[in-house]
Structure 1
Amino acid sequence: MGMHLPSNKGRGRRAPMADINVTPLVDVMLVLLIIFMVTAPLLTAGVQVNLPESRAKALDQEQKPVQISIDDKGQVFIDTDAVSDAELPAKLAAIAAKKGADGKPAAIYLRGDTALGYGKVMRVMGELNQAGLNRVSLLTDPSDPR
């Protein structure tokens, strides 16, 4: 198979160019790669949090929600029982194993002290997510609407 090369001999006409310019294609693909690299971690790194609305009515629940509290020293309590950091994953796995009538684990109410660091709350939320407890509500004191 031979290739036809344009020659300068002739009537001054140029032969059509048979090459494909791939530079615009590469530019578009690199932009798409950057977009996917930026957005992919944002899609998988989130912890699902169901925050209650301020004017919502009380929900009818068959299962009593579990209250997890973290005091200003970082001590974790499940309902009123103190739990160490080593015991927390096992206790949360036991809570997740108890399914309600709807087949879902109990709702979790997470309370954290104002003086508490953000990292401790996120570690507890990570343990909740690892145990499969994704119905988490963060509780706050209602502020004065004045």
Structure 2
Amino acid sequence: MGAKIKGGDLGEDSLESEINIIPLVDIMLVLLIIFMIAAPMMYDTVDINLPQAQAQQSDASEESVILAIQKDRKLFIGRQEISFEELSMRIRAIFENRDRKEIYIRADEEVSHGFVIQVMARIQQAGISRMAFETDPSRQ
């Protein structure tokens, strides 16, 4: 564990040190487990109950733009809340230098149909015509 004193060939006392790495390995394993548990929770940061549907899996990837609409009509792009008034301007800025002009909408099932249509109109005003809705196929 620490240092040992042992006699040398010439009868001199020498200090031999060794590093115990077992506590370090224990801490690293605990941190790994914590990150493995916490990583999936970081994806769904906006509280939304998606409507159920029997649909194909979307091809949304990490760099896809996802617009979340909560039941109280709050809008989020990623984790950042935006107002309805600035929606068109923000989407136009996000897609300015992108080749793939497609947005995924994650609307809570309790949001009114009319409000979702208004949001879609704002997205079209920003020049984005490809929109896809995310649903929850696991809830049936």
TM-score normalised to the size of structure 1? 0.52
Secondary structure at 1:124 match in 2: helix
Q: Which runs of 5+ in 1 are unaligned?
A: 1-52
User: Stretches of 4+ moved more than 2 A in 1?
Assistant: 53-56, 58-61
CA separation of 1:73 and 1:96: change in aligned 2, threshold 3 A: same
User: Which residue does the alignment assign to 2:109?
Assistant: 114
**Distance of 1:64 and 1:120 partners within structure 2:** 26
Q: Which runs of 5+ in 2 are unaligned?
A: 1-53
| Superposition deviation, residue 71 in structure 1 | 0.3
Radius of gyration: which is bigger? 1
**Greater strand percent: which structure?**
2
Amino-acid identity (%): 29
| Superposition deviation, residue 132 in structure 1 | 1.1
| Superposition deviation, residue 96 in structure 1 | 2.6
**Distance of 1:143 and 1:133 partners within structure 2:** 29
Aligned length: 87
CA RMSD of aligned residues (A): 2.4
**Distance of 1:60 and 1:116 partners within structure 2:** 22
Paired residues for 1:60-99 under 5 Å: 64-99=63-98
Paired residues for 1:118-137 under 5 Å: 118-137=113-132
